[in-house]
Amino acid sequence: MIASCKNSSDYKALNASSSDTALIAADSISPKQAKLVKTADMHFKVKNVQQTGENIAALTTKFNGMVVHDDMTSAPDQTHDITLNNDSVMRISSFNTTADMTVKIPTEKLEDFLHTVSHMGIYVNQKTMDIEDKSLDYLASQMKLNSRKELVAQQKSGKLVIKDANSVLDLKDGLVDEQINDKRIDDEVKYSVITLNFYESNTISKEVIANDDPSTYHLPFFSQLGMALQNGWFLFSELIIGLVNLWAIILSGAIVWILVRLYGKRKKAQPVV
């Protein structure tokens, strides 16, 4: 119990010391150390989307930046087909082409970059720039980081005994998280993220393609005439064959017809009483 109370008092003293150190760090921050994160967005119209995208990529490299996202889309707006012949069709399409790019530029070159890009377009629909002050977030992370460092140092020197291994791991993981958070804020301050969306007027595309409608395909006239004669002869021969197959019925009908005729003639020849 005495040892436990001693450790508890050391822990309270350490917390007080850490808090004092953090307060000193908070008071010592100056405007020059302000963590200002700048972001910008621009929506504009250009003459050629593909060429503008290549120019922006080259400009980003020139400014020691990096393209982190690049997406160009061409979607058909309207399509009209004109039949040239049975085999070919001219397809006239109206395309809408847009592009989205996200770049990271050194913050000190942000305004120069936006000024240069704005002159690449015909006109700018919208341009915005936001500045977020993350000085307090950075300070809070630094305070947490210093507190954890002091706890780790006290634990290594034996002044503070932490028997739970999970607590030690959580403490060290917290150190890593705060260090990564500080580096993330430093990167956001050093490099500004710019989102660019640009488009061009609809373009017309003409292409001759194969006619994919089977109903439009027909044989030439003489080919159709030859097939008609061939089909006619085939039907005529089938009719003859069919009649030959019915010879018994035809013969019976002919005999009946002859008998009826003979009976009629004989009846007319008898004298009337």
Let me know: does 47 contact 122? Beta carbons within 8 Å: yes
Phi then psi for residue 162, to 5 deg, are -110, 110
Q: Is 244 helix (H, G, I), strand (E, B) or coil?
A: helix
Distance CA 7, CA 26 (A): 28
Q: In this predicted model, what pLDDT tens digit does every residue of 165-181 receive, in sequence order?
A: 566 566 666 777 777 88
Q: In this predicted model, what pLDDT tens digit does every residue of 96-150 receive, in sequence order?
A: 999 999 999 999 999 999 999 999 999 999 999 999 888 887 777 777 777 777 7
DSSP state of 65: -
Q: Where in the chain are the domains?
A: 2-209
Let me know: does 21 contact 150? Beta carbons within 8 Å: yes
Nearest to 142 by CA among 15, 13, 14, 24: 24
Let me know: does 230 contact 237? Beta carbons within 8 Å: no
Q: What is the pTM of this model?
A: 0.57
Let me know: does 39 contact 189? Beta carbons within 8 Å: no
b/e code 163-172 from CB counts within 10 Å (16+ = b) = eeeeeeeebe
Distances in whole angstroms, Cα of residue 178 to Cα of each of 82, 117, 153: 66, 36, 17
Could you tell me the mean pLDDT of each successive run of 10 residues in the chain, 273 residues long?
Answer: 40 44 47 80 94 95 94 86 77 89 94 93 93 82 75 69 63 73 86 95 83 65 77 83 78 82 72 55
